[in-house]
Structure 1
Amino acid sequence: MLKLKDLQEMGNVTFGDAANVTLDNIQTAITDLAKQNGIPVAFYQEDAKDGGLFGSTYTALVAYHPEHRRDYFNMAMIMTKQGNFGNVSVYAAGKSKQMNKFARSDASKAGFGAAIAGGGSFAVGQMIGGALGSIGKSKARLQEEQTYYEIILNIIGAALNE
């Protein structure tokens, strides 16, 4: 089960004429548009909890890159309706190996720089851990991953506003 409080929002799409729109319709529309544009995407559904014990539970449609299911973020879509309008909120779920590598590298550099500037000690283990954790980072692969998210968000918008 996904916990919405642990996820980062990637975007929102509001659309009209939502009375008969379901997650299955959305999946079909996204699949068709992605296929027309040569973009790989796969799906599964999972429950998502918002709030504590008495919070709401939603069914999330989760999109992912079939070749990068474990190393790219999955994109969890939660649909809500109000009147004749619908809203799909898209959340980053899971982990991104490249973003994690860049975050470790940045933290290691910041800690090392602070230790040098302050004359204080910077834990050698932290520096080594940050350096080892960033092995394999690639700006090109990170850009490719981020472009994938942008494309899927655009496809979601197009699918819902056709």
Structure 2
Amino acid sequence: MIKLKDVEEMGSVTFGDAGEVTLETIKGAVTDLAQQNGIPVAFYTDDAKEGGLFGDTYTALVAYHPEHRNDYFNMAMILTKQGNFGTVSVYAAGKSKQMNKFARSEAAKEMRRGQSMSFKVGNMISSGIMNMGKSKQKLQEEQTYYEIILNIIGAALNE
């Protein structure tokens, strides 16, 4: 179960003529466009909960990179309709190892400001150990993947 209060929206796509659009048709269209462009993507469905005990529950279509299911964010899509228009909101669900490493690294840098040299050295050593494998290139590749999938979703819905 995805709790919408715990995830961040990555983007949304609004489109017209949404009467017959379902999560299954979105999955098919995104799969086709991704394959045509050599972009790996896989899907599963999950429930997404908004609000507390009596809040709304939605079915979410979750896209993920098949080679990075546990170290990239999953992209949870929720479809809502209003009149003839539909909106797909995309949320970052799960965890991103590279983004966590960069966030910890930045927090450690901030913590060192104004501290003694011995604290700085100790902090740098522990931060270095905790953030082994941090890579700007891997982070950029991951962020580019998210941008590509968001663009594919937009293109698939606005064809």
TM-score in terms of structure 2 length: 0.94
Task: Write the mapping of 1:1-162 to structure 2, written as runs, cut at 5 A.
Answer: 1-116=1-116, 124=122, 128-162=125-159
Length, aligned pairs only:
159
Sequence identity (%): 73
- Separation (CA, whole Å) in 2 of partners of 1:78 and 1:133: 35
Q: Let me know the Cα RMSD of the aligned residues.
A: 1.8
Stretches of structure 2 lacking an aligned partner (at least 5 in a row): none
- The Cα offsets for residues 130-154 of structure 1, whole Å up to 9 and x where unpaired, read as 3322111001000000000000000
- Quote the offset at 1:101 in angstroms: 0.6
- Separation (CA, whole Å) in 1 of partners of 2:153 and 2:34: 9
Stretches of structure 1 lacking an aligned partner (at least 5 in a row): none
- Separation (CA, whole Å) in 2 of partners of 1:7 and 1:127: 30
The DSSP-based 3-state class of the residue aligned with 1:39 is coil
- Quote the offset at 1:77 in angstroms: 0.3
TM-score in terms of structure 1 length: 0.92
The DSSP-based 3-state class of the residue aligned with 2:52 is coil
- Separation (CA, whole Å) in 2 of partners of 1:57 and 1:78: 10
- Separation (CA, whole Å) in 2 of partners of 1:60 and 1:114: 46
* Structure 1 residue runs of 4 or more that deviate by more than 6 Å after TM superposition: none
Describe the shift of the 1:127–1:92 C-alpha distance in structure 2 as closer, same or farther (beyond 3 A). same
